[in-house]
Structure 1
Amino acid sequence: MKNYLRPLCLALAAASLMSGCATRPAAPLELNVVALNDFHGHLEGGKFNYTVNGRQTTVHAGGIDVIGAALQAWRKEDRELMFVGAGDLVGGTPALSSMWADEASLTALSMLGMNASSAGNHEFDQGRAELLRQQHGGCDSHRADKACKLDPDYRGASFTYLAANVIDTATGKTLLPAYKIEEAKGVKVGYIGAVLKDTPSVVLASGIKGLAFLDEADAINKALVEVRAKGATVFVVLIHEGGHTDEAFNEPDCKNLKGPIVSIAKRLDPELKLIISGHTHTGFQCKVDGRTITQAEMGGHVLSRIKLLVDPDSRLLRDISVRNVVLTPGEYPADPRMAAYLQQVKQRSEAVLARPVARLGAKVVTRKLNDAGEAPLGNLIADAVLDATKAQGVQVAFMNTGGMRKDLEAGDNLVATYGQAQVVLPFSNTIVVMDMTGAQLRAVLEQQWIRKHADSNAAMLHPSRGFTYRWDGARPRGQRVVPGSVKLDGVAIDEARIYRVAANNFLAEGGDGFAAFAEASNKRDTQILDLDAFVRYLAASDRSGKPAGSSAVAGRVETTK
Structure 2
Amino acid sequence: MPATSQPQPSDRRGRRRTYRLVAASAVLATAGALAAALPADAHEAKHSKPRPSRYQDVQLLSFNDLHGNLEPPSGSSGRVTELQADGTTKTIDAGGVEYLATHLREARKGNAYSVTAAGGDMVGASPLISGLFHDEPTIEALNKLDLDVTSVGNHEFDEGARELGRLQNGGCHPTDGCYNGKKFRGADFPYLAANVLNEKSGKPILKPYWVWKKKDVKIGFIGVTLEDTPGVVSAEGVKGLKFKDEVETINKYAKVLQKQGVKSIVALIHEGGLPASGAYNYNCDSPGTGAGISGPIVDIAKNVTPAVDALVTGHTHAAYACTIPDPSGKPRTVTSAASFGRLYTDTTLTYDRYTGDIARTAVKSANHVVTRTVAKAPDMTELISRWNTLAAPIGNRAIGHITADVPSTGTESPMGDLIADAQLWYGKKLDADTDLALMNPGGVRAGLTYAAKGAEGDGVVTYAEGFTVQPFSNTVNLQNFTGAQLIQVLKEQVSGTNASAPKILQPSANLTYTLDLTKAGADRVVTDSIKLNGAAIDPAATYRVSTNSFLAGGGDGFPTLGQGTNDLVGADDLSALEQYMLANSSAAGPLAPPATNRITIVQ
Match in the other structure for 2:24: none
Taking the TM superposition and a 5 Å limit, the aligned residue runs for 1:90-489 are 90-140=123-173, 144=175, 148-149=178-179, 152-246=182-276, 249-250=280-281, 254=285, 255=289, 256-289=292-325, 290-318=331-359, 319-329=362-372, 331=374, 335-360=377-402, 362-369=403-410, 373-390=411-428, 391-392=430-431, 393-411=433-451, 413-450=458-495, 458-489=502-533
Q: Is the 8 A contact 2:499 2:521 kept in 1?
A: no
Q: Deviations over 1:314-349 (max 9, x none)?
A: 432224222322222454x65432232223233333
Q: 1:205 to 1:292 in 2, by over 3 A?
A: same
User: Residue 43 of structure 1: CA displacement?
Assistant: 0.8
Say which is worse superposed, 473-482 or 279-288, in terms of deviation: 473-482
Q: SS at the partner of 2:323? A: strand
User: Residue 481 of structure 1: CA displacement?
Assistant: 4.2
Q: 1:559 to 1:279 in 2, by over 3 A?
A: closer
User: Residue 381 of structure 1: CA displacement?
Assistant: 1.0
How far apart, CA to CA, are the structure 2 residues paired with 1:217 and 1:383?
42
How far apart, CA to CA, are the structure 2 residues paired with 1:253 and 1:415?
41
Match in the other structure for 2:62: 35
User: Residue 95 of structure 1: CA displacement?
Assistant: 2.8
How far apart, CA to CA, are the structure 1 residues paired with 2:376 and 2:504?
44
User: Residue 47 of structure 1: CA displacement?
Assistant: 2.8
RMSD: 3.0
Q: SS at the partner of 2:304? A: coil
Normalising by the residue count of structure 1, what TM-score does the alignment of the two structures yield?
0.86
Q: 1:523 to 1:287 in 2, by over 3 A?
A: same
Are 1:522 and 2:522 counterparts? no
Q: Is the 8 A contact 2:254 2:307 kept in 1?
A: no
Q: 1:191 to 1:351 in 2, by over 3 A?
A: same
Q: Deviations over 1:124-165 (max 9, x none)?
A: 223323322322233445xx56x7547752232221111222
Q: 1:258 to 1:399 in 2, by over 3 A?
A: closer
Which letter does structure 2 place at the counterpart of 1:342?
Answer: I
How far apart, CA to CA, are the structure 2 residues paired with 1:327 and 1:550?
31
Q: 1:325 to 1:470 in 2, by over 3 A?
A: closer
How far apart, CA to CA, are the structure 2 residues paired with 1:337 and 1:313?
41
User: Residue 306 of structure 1: CA displacement?
Assistant: 2.0
Match in the other structure for 2:574: 531
Q: Deviations over 1:495-525 (max 9, x none)?
A: 2333222211111111111111111123243
How far apart, CA to CA, are the structure 1 residues paired with 2:269 and 2:250?
9
Q: Deviations over 1:365-408 (max 9, x none)?
A: 22333xxx433222221121122222334222211111111112
How far apart, CA to CA, are the structure 1 residues paired with 2:496 and 2:67?
24
Q: 1:229 to 1:278 in 2, by over 3 A?
A: same
Q: Is the 8 A contact 1:252 1:323 kept in 2?
A: no
How far apart, CA to CA, are the structure 2 residues paired with 1:112 and 1:544?
41
Q: Is the 8 A contact 1:380 1:549 kept in 2?
A: no
> Unpaired segments of 5 or more residues in structure 2?
1-50, 73-77, 326-330, 453-457
User: Residue 425 of structure 1: CA displacement?
Assistant: 1.0
How far apart, CA to CA, are the structure 2 residues paired with 1:75 and 1:108?
17
User: Residue 62 of structure 1: CA displacement?
Assistant: 2.8
Match in the other structure for 1:552: 595
User: Residue 59 of structure 1: CA displacement?
Assistant: 2.5
How far apart, CA to CA, are the structure 1 residues paired with 2:112 and 2:383?
23
Are 1:89 and 2:122 counterparts? yes
How far apart, CA to CA, are the structure 1 residues paired with 2:202 and 2:553?
25
Identity %: 36
> Unpaired segments of 5 or more residues in structure 1?
1-23
User: Residue 252 of structure 1: CA displacement?
Assistant: 6.9
1:501 to 524, 534, 545: 545
